[in-house]
Structure 1
Amino acid sequence: MVRSAFRSEPVTGRLGGKDANKPNTWRDLIACAETAIAKGLTTPEMLFITGGSAGGIPMVMSPIERPELFAGVINQVPMASALRAEFQTNGPANIPEFGTIKDEPGFRNLLAMDGYQQLKEATRYPPYLITTGLNDSRVDSWQPAKLAARMRAINPDNVVLLRVDEEAGHGIGSTKSQVDALWADMVTFINWRLSREGWSLLPD
């Protein structure tokens, strides 16, 4: 069961975040962030969020609605262009879950969760590390790349890093060395953002 500050009644199960209810996924995340900050567990200067694949949708939409809440975002192999997702390699298989642009309700639902379309001009978002693997058959690499390019274009002050693994896919089946390298880059990104001594995104 999930309950959000944006909803008066709880919604049970996965349907609470499906179709027209999809905004509940990122608004519940916003509510969790607000609660953690209010309880003194963290601060906006220390709070990072991470997710991937379909879980990459709230990684874009939460900072779009509340960019001041987050210190940084790690968005792994994200579905970032929902309106075009059904035309990617694995797209048709996802239509029952996310809908299709070929009918009006599906189009409206997909538009609402499409981070690429919902980004606001001239807005400074928290720093992003976006990842992709060129062999990803679930979320084609053009989706993360498209998101990174758009975020950079709308504001030159946005720090947006696109990490491309030429040998990796969606994460399933990655080798230990690939996973270790990814984690090393994610930890470096966090420590750089926190201005910790000795951590840099670029070699000396």
Structure 2
Amino acid sequence: MPARRRQRRLLTARNGANPMAEPGDPRTEPGLRQLLALDPYQRARDGAPCPPLLLVIGVNDQRVAPWNRGKFGARVQQASPATPVWYRSDADRGHFATGGDASARQWADIYAILRSHAPARLTPRGAAITASSARAGGRAARHAPRRTWRAWGT
């Protein structure tokens, strides 16, 4: 399917044409060029290396049709067959995680894949956070992340 037709299909999606002002309107030449430059599907090149990919799909997503992620994953696998591609779908989810347990499960999956495919093994570095939080004091200490990650052995 030609790129122009793929981009125009966005106008008839559930979310409609309302997001077109920011990324570009595919009915105009400048808008189409801008959308094509942003589109990861169009940027996938045969033989180009690609890192492992996790595509998170909310089945009730009103902004991005769930099939878009599937189509992109298939394109990446076609372009770079050695690249592992995982799909994580949530039947109750929309564009964002619903919070609470669902959000925790999603982040656990994301970190599990990151940990297994990061260039260097990752390990928590709690001591550095404790020291930096104590120095920061006040608001910064209250909002400091609970953990940071570093390459093992550094």
Q: Normalized against structure 2, the TM-score is what?
A: 0.67
Unmatched segments (≥5 aa) in structure 1? 1-80, 198-204
2:106 corresponds to which residue? 182
Q: Where do 1:130-149 residues align within 5 Å?
A: 130-149=55-74
2:117 corresponds to which residue? 193
Q: Where do 1:145-160 residues align within 5 Å?
A: 145-160=70-85
> How big is the shift at 1:128?
1.0
C-alpha spacing 1:116/1:83, structure 2 compared with 1 (3 Å): farther
Larger Rg: 2
Q: Are the equivalent residues in 1 in contact too, given 2:54–2:88 (CA < 8 A)? A: yes
Q: Where do 1:49-198 residues align within 5 Å?
A: 84-171=9-96, 174-194=98-118, 196=121
Structure 1 letter corresponding to 2:102: Q
Structure 2 letter corresponding to 1:188: A
Percent identity of the aligned residues? Answer: 32
Measure, in 2, the Cα distance between the counterparts of 1:117 and 1:83: 14
Unmatched segments (≥5 aa) in structure 2? 1-5, 123-154
Supply the RMSD in Å over aligned alpha carbons.
Answer: 2.1
Q: Secondary structure at the match of 1:163?
A: strand
How many residue pairs end up in the alignment? 116
C-alpha spacing 1:182/1:82, structure 2 compared with 1 (3 Å): farther
> How big is the shift at 1:196?
4.8
Write the deviation string for residues 45-95 of structure 1: whole angstroms up to 9, x where unpaired: xxxxxxxxxxxxxxxxxxxxxxxxxxxxxxxxxxxx766433321131101
Q: Normalized against structure 1, the TM-score is what?
A: 0.52
